[in-house]
Structure 1
Amino acid sequence: MTAQQDPVRLEQTLTLLWGSHSRTVGRTGLTINDFVVAAIALVQAEGVQALSMRSIASRLGVRPMAAYGFAPGKSAILALMVDRAYAAMYPAGTEPTAVDWRLGLRQVAEANRALHKAYPWLAELQPARSPMGPHELLKHERELAPLDGVGLSDFEMDQALAQLLNLTTQAARLENQAAAERASTGLDDAEWWVQAMPVLERVVDPQRFPLTVRVARATTETREGTFWGESAFNFGVERLLDGIEALIIRRRAG
C-alpha cells in the first residue's frame, strides 16, 4: 500500500493541508511555510528528481530529520507544494467572470496555462486523486462559477470544467516539453526543421502516407514551423467550448 493509499497517511496529509502553516517545526525556528517554499524553490531550480527530505533540509540548513517533523512523508510534501502553487491564482479582481460563461471559461483556461508554464513540475506532481487543499478548493469554486446557472446539471458542470483543465494541462505540458527540448538541443523550431526536413523528405513516401503528408504540410505552414504554442492552445480551447455550448443549447431546448 502506497502513502497515497494509506488512510492514516491521507488523514495526516489532509490535517496538515488544512492546518496552520505558520506553525514552527521542532526546534528549527522554521515554519511549515518555510519548508514548502524551500521544496518549491528546489524543484523549480533542480527538477522533480532532486526532491527529497534530505535535499529540502539541506536547502534550509537543518538536519534531515527536521524535514520529517514538517511532514509525515513525501506525499504530504507534494500535496503542500501543489496547493501552494494554486494559492497564486486569481488575485482579487481577477476571478473568472460569471456573467459570460464562455469568457469565464476562457479566463480559466488561460490562467491554468500560465500556472503550468510557471510551474512545469505541477502536472507531474499533482496526484490523480488530489487530497484537495484549501487553495485548490477555492480555485475549484471560482472556476465552477462561470457554469453555474447556464442549464447544465451539477455533474455536467464538473465534467465540463474537468475536460477544460485536462486540455489546458496537457497543452501546457507539451509547451514546456518543447521549450525544454529547445534549451537542451540549442535548436529553435525553425532550426530543428532545417535538420529534420531533408531526412523526412528522403524517407517518407507521400504515396504511402498521403493524408499525413498533406495535413502536416498545412499545419506546419499555418503554425509557421512552431510546434506547441498559442495557436494550438486556442484551437483546442475554442473547440471544447463549442462542445460545451452545444450541450447547453440541448439542455435549454429540452
Structure 2
Amino acid sequence: MTQTTGTPGDPPYLRIVAAIRRRIADGELAPGDRVPSTRQIASQWGVALATATKALTTLRLEGLVEAHPRVGTVVAGSTAAGNTPAAAPARRRPSTAPDAEPELTLDRIVRAAVEIADAEGLDALSMRAVAARLGVAAMSTYRYVPSKEDLVLLMADAAFGEESPAASGAPGDWRARVEVGARTLWRLYRAHPWLARIGSLTRPLLVPNLLVHGEWMLGALDGHGLDPTALFDIHVLLYSHVHGLAAHLELEADAEAATGQSEDQWMDSRAPVLQDLVDSGRFPTFARVVGSFEDGYDLRLDALFELGLTALLDGLTPVVEGRGHSRGPGRGPV
C-alpha cells in the first residue's frame, strides 16, 4: 500500500492529497503528467472510490491538477509558472459549506458527469463526485436528478446527441447511408468509451438521441422489400458490430487502471506464456501465423471496425437488394 505524508490524524483523502502534492512539489510529477486515476488511487491507498474522487477534487480546487477528457487528470500547467505546491500553504482544508454556491442547472450536472466518465470511467462517477466537481453541496444534485442511474441515462442521451448522421447529408444509396450511420456511432463510442457499458442488445438504451441513430439506419434499409423482422435483424446486427468493438475501449481502460500496464506492456509481460503456447506444437496454425509477424501483431480497433463493416455490408448487399429472392438470413424464398 502506498505511504502518505499527511498528518496521521487527517482524513484519508487529505493524506492522499498531501502525498500527491509532495510528488508535484518534488518534480516527480511535472506539468502535463498524468496523476493516478481514482481507480488507481483506490487500489494503491486501499480506499473507496468516493475517497479517491474527493482527493482528486481537492487537488483540482487547489489548482494543482486538471481533468482532460479521454486523457485523465494531469498536473496543471500553471504549476510551472510560480504557482507551485511549495509556494502554497501546506494544506488547504476545503470548506464543508461553500460561501456562495454556483448556480446549478441540469445541463451543468450532466456535462460534469460526462467529463468525469470520459476522464476516469464510470466507476469513478457518483452523485457526490459530480457535486464536488461543480463545487456545490453534496446533496444539491439530487434536486435535479433523483439517482445515479437516472443521471447515466441523461449522460448517454447527451453523448449520443453530440453528432447526428444527418449532419453529413443524406446519400441516396442505402449502403452509403449505413456507412455514415455506423461511422458516426463509432466516433461517439470512441469519444465516450463508457457508453458501451450501459446498454446491451437484450436490454437496449431507450433514449431519444440513440433512437435518432437507429432511425437513420432503419431508414437506410427500408424500402427494399425486407419484412419487418429481417429489417430489424439487420439493423441490430450492424449496431452490434459497432457496440461489440467499442466495449473493448472501456475494458482496456479499466485493465490499464487496475494493472498500471499499457496494452503493450501487458503483452510484453506475457511473452513467455505466449512462447510456451507456440512451442508446444499443439497449435501449428497459430504458431505459424504469430511467428510470421516481424514486430508482433498490432491490434487496431479502427481498422477492425472498417474491415468488419465492409464484410457485413458485402454479405448483406444481396439480401437488402433482393438478389436471390431472399427476405433475410435463413428466411427462405419469397
- Normalising by structure 1, report the TM-score: 0.73
Q: 2:190 aligns with which of 117, 127, 133?
A: 117
Instruction: State how 1:1-254 maps to structure 2 within 5 Å.
Output: 29-90=103-164, 93-95=167-169, 97=171, 99-126=172-199, 129-130=203-204, 132-175=206-249, 177=251, 189=264, 197=271, 200-205=274-279, 207-217=281-291, 220=293, 225-248=297-320, 249=323, 250-251=325-326, 254=334
SS at match of 1:54: helix
Q: Which has the higher helix share?
A: 1
Q: Distance in 2 between matches of 1:91 and 1:236?
A: 19
Q: Distance in 1 between matches of 2:256 and 2:270?
A: 14
Q: Distance in 1 between matches of 2:110 and 2:267?
A: 41
Q: Is the 8 A contact 2:222 2:231 kept in 1?
A: yes
Number of positions where the alignment pairs a residue of Structure 1 with one of Structure 2: 224
For residue 199 of structure 1, report the CA deviation from its aligned partner: 5.3
Q: Distance in 1 between matches of 2:239 and 2:180?
A: 12
SS at match of 1:132: coil
For residue 230 of structure 1, report the CA deviation from its aligned partner: 3.2
For residue 122 of structure 1, report the CA deviation from its aligned partner: 0.7
Q: Distance in 1 between matches of 2:189 and 2:232?
A: 21
For residue 216 of structure 1, report the CA deviation from its aligned partner: 4.0
Q: Which amino acid aligns with 1:239?
A: A
Identity of aligned residues (%): 32
Task: Go from structure 1 to structure 2 and tell me whether the alpha carbon gap of 1:215 and 1:154 turns closer, same or farther (over 3 Å shift).
Answer: farther
For residue 120 of structure 1, report the CA deviation from its aligned partner: 1.0
Q: Distance in 2 between matches of 1:80 and 1:231?
A: 31
For residue 69 of structure 1, report the CA deviation from its aligned partner: 1.3
For residue 64 of structure 1, report the CA deviation from its aligned partner: 2.0
Q: Distance in 2 between matches of 1:117 and 1:165?
A: 15
Task: Go from structure 1 to structure 2 and tell me whether the alpha carbon gap of 1:109 and 1:217 turns closer, same or farther (over 3 Å shift).
Answer: farther
Q: Which runs of 5+ in 1 are unaligned?
A: 1-26
For residue 93 of structure 1, report the CA deviation from its aligned partner: 3.3
Root-mean-square deviation over aligned CA pairs:
3.1
Please identify, of 202-211 and 119-128, the stretch whose mean Cα deviation from structure 2 is larger.
Answer: 202-211
Deviation string 1:156-176 (CA, Å, 9 cap, x unpaired) is 222211111111122233355
Higher relative contact order, structure no. (Cα contacts within 8 Å, ≥ 6 residues apart): 1
Q: Which runs of 5+ in 2 are unaligned?
A: 1-100, 328-332
Deviation string 1:3-42 (CA, Å, 9 cap, x unpaired) is xxxxxxxxxxxxxxxxxxxxxxxx9742211111111111
Task: Go from structure 1 to structure 2 and tell me whether the alpha carbon gap of 1:42 and 1:231 turns closer, same or farther (over 3 Å shift).
Answer: closer
Task: Go from structure 1 to structure 2 and tell me whether the alpha carbon gap of 1:177 and 1:149 turns closer, same or farther (over 3 Å shift).
Answer: same
For residue 194 of structure 1, report the CA deviation from its aligned partner: 6.4
Q: Which has the larger radius of gyration?
A: 2
Residue 24 of structure 1 corresponds to none
Q: Is the 8 A contact 2:106 2:144 kept in 1?
A: yes
Task: Go from structure 1 to structure 2 and tell me whether the alpha carbon gap of 1:217 and 1:158 turns closer, same or farther (over 3 Å shift).
Answer: farther
Q: Distance in 2 between matches of 1:154 and 1:203?
A: 47
For residue 231 of structure 1, report the CA deviation from its aligned partner: 2.9
Task: Go from structure 1 to structure 2 and tell me whether the alpha carbon gap of 1:103 and 1:217 turns closer, same or farther (over 3 Å shift).
Answer: farther
Q: Is the 8 A contact 1:96 1:143 kept in 2?
A: no
Q: Is the 8 A contact 1:117 1:176 kept in 2?
A: no
Q: Is the 8 A contact 1:175 1:228 kept in 2?
A: no
Q: Which amino acid aligns with 1:230?
A: D
